[in-house]
Amino acid sequence: MPPEEPSEYYENIWDAVVSDNTLDDIQERTGYSESEALDQQYYIFADMVPDDFNERQAEQMWGDYLEAFVQGGGSMDDFFEEYDIDPADFDWEAWQEAMGY
């Protein structure tokens, strides 16, 4: 399981995956600071992590989540399939709010 709050390691993954342009777009649409944008996505992500995942698995999943759902370089469908998540169980409303859609 991931920590309750994003650790520095999760922040580093955020910095590595989410481009400045993507972050600027999110901030323009939402008015969030970078920290608020990260927190919003982290809480959505943390609700999906299986209880039996170790920290390394959760960190990999975080990077994959950011790539698919924030940066847009990955497939949401592939993410759901890889992590055996039913898209109907995903909090689309919270994600849309976090993205400013």
The pTM is what? Answer: 0.94
pLDDT (average), residues 96-100: 97
Per-residue confidence (pLDDT) for residue 5, from 0 to 100: 75
pLDDT in tens, 1-47: 666 777 889 999 999 999 999 999 999 999 999 999 999 999 999 99
DSSP per position, 15-48: HHHS-HHHHHHHHHHH---HHHHHHHHHHHHHTT
Q: What is the pLDDT of residues 68-81, one digit of tens each?
A: 999 999 999 999 99
Q: What pLDDT band is residue 91 in, cutting at 50, 70 and 90?
A: very high
Residue boundaries of the structural domains of the chain: 8-99
